[in-house]
Amino acid sequence: MLRIKRLAAADAAPVWSQVRPALASLMGTLALSPEDKSLIANCESDGDYLNFVTPLSGTLREAPILEGKPLFFKGQEVAELNFEERSAKWLAALQPYLPQDQSVSLDDPNLSPEARAALVLKTLVQQPQYLSVLEDKDPIIVPFWDHNFTIKPVLPPVAPAAAAATAVGGRRWWPWLLLLALLLGLAALWLLWGQHWWDERQAAAQRSDDLAALKQELVQRQYQLHDINRMLGRVNTSIDTALEHQRQKDLTALYRELEERRTNYVDIHNLLNQVADKEALHQAATEPVVPTEPTEPSASTEPTASGVEPTTPAALSGQVTAGQSKLPKCTTIIAQGKMPQLILATDGSGSMLDFMPDGSLRIQAAINAAFEVVSSVDHNVPIRLFGMQGCPLARDYGTFSGNNRAALQRAIAQTNPLLSPRPLQVLTPLVSALKGMANVAGTNNDAVGILISDGLDTCNNTRNTDLCSLAREIHAAKPKLKINVVLLGDEAASARCIAQITGGKVYRPENAHELVKSLKQAAQSLVKVCN
């Protein structure tokens, strides 16, 4: 469909707005050919605007309207002829629906909706406000009046006056004498006023020529105005494009500066951790060894038949109880294939650009908290990272060992919607991230999952997935995977059952400080797992 014109519905005249619902119905019942029906465009509502369209296609050119009549350009003789023929067919087709009394106006309250719609269509054909010509041959009327449009009364054709003269009876001579006198008077009047009449005729012809020239100039001016408006539209579009391009450049420069500062922060943080590790080693080497009293071996510390030290949940979590003297050896749990793992899934969607109650940006607080957590986890624990930053699948950044924590922090920094050309349109593949966590979790070793999100799954193919049913499937397949859920927004409340079903916990931090604390609590069992 080709759009002829787009107008605001609020600009429509009240009488046209009242009859608009009945226009389409009446136009569909008229017995007209598709070619004749194309004289009047179809009206489609688009919220606060009205679109007037036609099934035809080609190049449009709007025709000016003067005193209710369209003025066609040079070369549009076929369009003018088609307008006259199709208008006559429309008026003939509307005749059965028009009121019998031709003096009835559109304001008459007794008019039926059908008769009022027929009267409106008749007036539109006789006095269009907007008319366009398609390919210089097909005229198309826009069925619309605005508040300022004035409908001029169309006068019926004047009936010819009766030509019959009163019969003169008899053969009287005096009427002939009177007629002769009248002829002589007319001749005298011609002699007296003939020159004046000729001058007036010449002046009238000159005025007609001047009016025709004025109409032609008006047509040219309106065509020039149309071109100027079209050029202004293109200029405005170019300005908007340039402004958007500049905004994207500024945003890219800002993000690069942010990324550079983040990289410096990561390097400094790693350096501080190395210094702290060296100080701890130095302090352990210089402290005197204090002998301890031997204790009775408990059931949990007896050696197994294979000679490998057994592991317990308390040993894996780094908690030393009264019946346990030390953590298991790292080589032992690696040989058993029971080294626990941490699986992170961070939300990098556009909604993470909202602010927390303390004014912190959600995505910035989440990235900083993730930095703190991966720095505190035992270096022997492998960490897998998933980024929920666009549909249909979550991004799998892979597994990072203890010697590759700096690369992991750089990967976490990549889970940022500001890296996208359209940050606010980045969606959340939450279901894909959960399935990815389940796929990479081991079967024999414990796994701690941390899901950080402020919303639901927004991908078209997974947004209706039941998260609780999915959590039950994951727990049945990987019972040692416990997923902790960190909720940053009210919209993510339905994700609570993920933690409840898999044995994890739900955290609702209100600010950036609580977010760091929540993530550390979720990963507390992995701070120290072996010696």
Is the pLDDT assigned to residue 329 strictly greater than 60? yes
| pLDDT tens digits, 5-50 | 999 988 888 888 888 888 888 888 888 999 999 999 999 988 889 9
Is the pLDDT assigned to residue 108 strictly greater than 70? yes
Residue 296: per-residue pLDDT: 39
Is the pLDDT assigned to residue 490 strictly greater than 60? yes
Strand order in the sheet with 447-453: 395-400, 383-388, 341-347, 447-453, 481-487, 506-507
Burial 440-475 (b: 16+ CB within 10 A, else e): bbbeebbbbbbbbbbbbbbbeebeebebeebbeebb
Is the pLDDT assigned to residue 98 strictly greater than 80? yes
* Bigger pLDDT: 216 vs 304: 216
Residue 332: per-residue pLDDT: 83
| CA nearest to 403, candidates 308, 273, 504, 211 | 273
Residue 156: per-residue pLDDT: 53
Residue 308: per-residue pLDDT: 31
Residue 203: per-residue pLDDT: 80
Residue pair 345/474 in contact (Cβ under 8 Å)? The answer is no
Strands 138-141 and 69-70 come out as unpaired
Indicate the helix (H) or strand (E) that contains 191: helix 174-286
Helix residue ranges, H only, 289-344: 313-317, 330-335
* Bigger pLDDT: 290 vs 436: 436
Residue 346: per-residue pLDDT: 94
Residue 208: per-residue pLDDT: 81
* Bigger pLDDT: 418 vs 432: 432
Q: What's the CA angle centered on 166, arms 162 and 171, to 5 degrees? A: 145
Instruction: State the average pLDDT over residues 242-263.
Output: 72
465: helix, coil or strand? Answer: coil
Residue 479: per-residue pLDDT: 93
Residue 217: per-residue pLDDT: 82
- Nearest 5°: phi and psi at 17? -65, -35
Instruction: State the average pLDDT over residues 476-482.
Output: 93
Residue 194: per-residue pLDDT: 66
Rounded to two decimals, what is the model's pTM?
A: 0.43
Instruction: State the average pLDDT over residues 73-85.
Output: 91
Residue 257: per-residue pLDDT: 73
Residue 178: per-residue pLDDT: 84
Least confident range from 235-239, 299-303, 377-381, 434-438: namely 299-303
Instruction: State the average pLDDT over residues 150-157.
Output: 61
Using 50, 70 and 90 to split pLDDT, how confident is the model at 106? confident
- Rounded to whole angstroms, the Cα distance separating 24 from 50 reads 14
Residue 471: per-residue pLDDT: 93
Is the pLDDT assigned to residue 408 strictly greater than 90? yes
- Nearest 5°: phi and psi at 430? -65, -40
Least confident range from 120-124, 242-246, 515-519: namely 242-246
Is the pLDDT assigned to residue 382 strictly greater than 90? yes
Residue 292: per-residue pLDDT: 41
Using 50, 70 and 90 to split pLDDT, how confident is the model at 142? very high
The Cα-based distances of 206 to 201, 202, 210, 211 in angstroms read 9, 6, 6, 9
Share of the chain above pLDDT 70, in %: 81
Q: Give the start-end residues of each E strand in 401-490.
A: 447-453, 481-487
Residue 36: per-residue pLDDT: 92
Helix then strand then coil, % of the chain, to nearest 5: 50, 15, 35
Residue pair 458/473 in contact (Cβ under 8 Å)? The answer is no
Is the pLDDT assigned to residue 325 strictly greater than 60? no
Who's near 289: CB < 8 A, 6+ residues apart? none
Residue 242: per-residue pLDDT: 79
Which structure tokens are listed for 460? 């078209």
Residue 295: per-residue pLDDT: 38
Tally Cβ neighbours within 10 Å of residue 137: 15
Share of the chain above pLDDT 90, in %: 29
- Rounded to whole angstroms, the Cα distance separating 132 from 87 reads 15
Is the pLDDT assigned to residue 311 strictly greater than 50? no
Residue 224: per-residue pLDDT: 83
Least confident range from 10-14, 150-154, 204-208, 394-398: namely 150-154
Strands 60-63 and 131-134 come out as antiparallel
Is the pLDDT assigned to residue 301 strictly greater than 50? no
Where do the structural domains in the chain lie, given as residue ranges? 2-141, 202-276, 318-526
Least confident range from 132-146, 298-312, 367-381: namely 298-312
- Nearest 5°: phi and psi at 451? -105, 115
What CATH number does the domain located at 318-526 have? Answer: 3.40.50.410
* Bigger pLDDT: 93 vs 194: 93
- Rounded to whole angstroms, the Cα distance separating 501 from 495 reads 11
* Bigger pLDDT: 445 vs 270: 445
Instruction: State the average pLDDT over residues 463-488.
Output: 92
Least confident range from 291-295, 358-362, 426-430: namely 291-295
Using 50, 70 and 90 to split pLDDT, how confident is the model at 377? very high
Strands 481-487 and 383-388 come out as unpaired
- The chain-wide mean pLDDT, for the chain, equals 80
Is the pLDDT assigned to residue 284 strictly greater than 60? no
Listed ranges 84-93, 248-257, 351-360, 486-495; the one with the highest mean pLDDT: 84-93
The Cα-based distances of 143 to 16, 123, 417 in angstroms read 9, 10, 47
